[in-house]
Structure 1
Amino acid sequence: MQANRVTLITLGVADLAVSKAFYAALGWVLEEATDDVAFYDIGGAKFGLYSLGKMAEDLDLSIDDLGCGASNLSQNYPTEAEVDAAYDLALSAGAKPVKKPAAIFWGGYSGAFADPDGHVWEVACNPFWPLNDEGHIA
């Protein structure tokens, strides 16, 4: 079995209802949910939002010990205009601006915002990674 793969990305959230509303405003389609967790299909993998208390309980940690490692999630778009539109949509949904989209040193175009819990999302146009019709890296 291939080791370098991800089948589930789960973000710990302080208020699941607020986070579900934020991602719905971005156009994310909820697949299933309980009182403590929400799952979204992301094409061969899952994306989850999990209440911090239940996440800590499941991992046998305190909420303070969950940590917030330096990371960001990224969505690539085929054009700079689509990057701008995704960034503007996130801000209108309540995201905190992190970095306004602009040309970047490596030859692409990107910006960043934070969701209600501070999870950083990058929106980018990467000319070196063309996308297929489903939006996956070709």
Structure 2
Amino acid sequence: MEQRLSFVTLAVHDLDRSRAFYVDGLGWEPELDVPGEVVMFAAGERLVLALWDRAAFEAEVGEPVRAGPGVVPMTLSHNVASPREVDAVLATARAAGAVAGVPVARDWGGYTGYFADPDGFRWEVAWNPGPVGRRVVPETEVDARP
């Protein structure tokens, strides 16, 4: 198996609410939009983020989704080219209705903060000055670093 990720699928409670958050709030453009079922976004050169109605998701995978208190044990990350962009993305998420924390300088040299989408999925917004962090930021952004 090749070492790559093609789709990230999030099973959401209210697809219309999630669509509004990502499209109207964050400004993302759907690649595919099937009302009541799924919304898909190009999230990278060969990566798609899918928001899938929870009931349709459960029917597809043949199992119920686990639910309970606490944070979903995963994060999605949006890396940017500067600490200033971390602040700007978190402000955009807050304006879209997200619960967003205050970004902090990390011990490993980066600067990150988190926000939660309408279903509580946590997004890390990160400036990572290391080689791996630079690898995931589009070149046009990397070239624009102060």
TM-score, with normalisation over the residues of structure 2?
0.84
Structure 2 counterpart of 1:17: 16
Number of residue pairs the alignment of both structures matches: 132
**CA distance, structure 1, for counterparts of residue 31 and residue 72 of structure 2:** 27
Q: Is the 8 A contact 1:77 1:123 kept in 2?
A: yes
Q: How does 1:1-138 map to 2 (within 5 A)?
A: 2=2, 4-24=3-23, 25-35=25-35, 36-42=37-43, 43-64=45-66, 69-97=72-100, 99-128=101-130, 129-130=133-134, 131=137, 132-133=139-140
**CA distance, structure 2, for counterparts of residue 92 and residue 33 of structure 1:** 23
The C-alpha deviation readout for 1:47-100, integer Å capped at 9, x for no partner, is 1000000101111112447xx751000011111111000001001101112x31
Q: Which AA in structure 1 matches 2:125?
A: V
Q: Which AA in structure 2 matches 1:57?
A: A
- Give me the CA root mean square deviation: 1.9
Structure 1 residue ranges without an equivalent (≥5):
none
Structure with bigger helix share is: 2
Provide the secondary structure at the position in 1 that maps to 2:103: strand
Q: Is the 8 A contact 1:53 1:63 kept in 2?
A: no
Q: Which AA in structure 2 matches 1:108?
A: G
User: Quick one: percent identity of the two aligned structures?
Assistant: 37
Structure 2 residue ranges without an equivalent (≥5):
none
Q: 1:134 to 1:105 in 2, by over 3 A?
A: closer
Provide the secondary structure at the position in 1 that maps to 2:102: strand
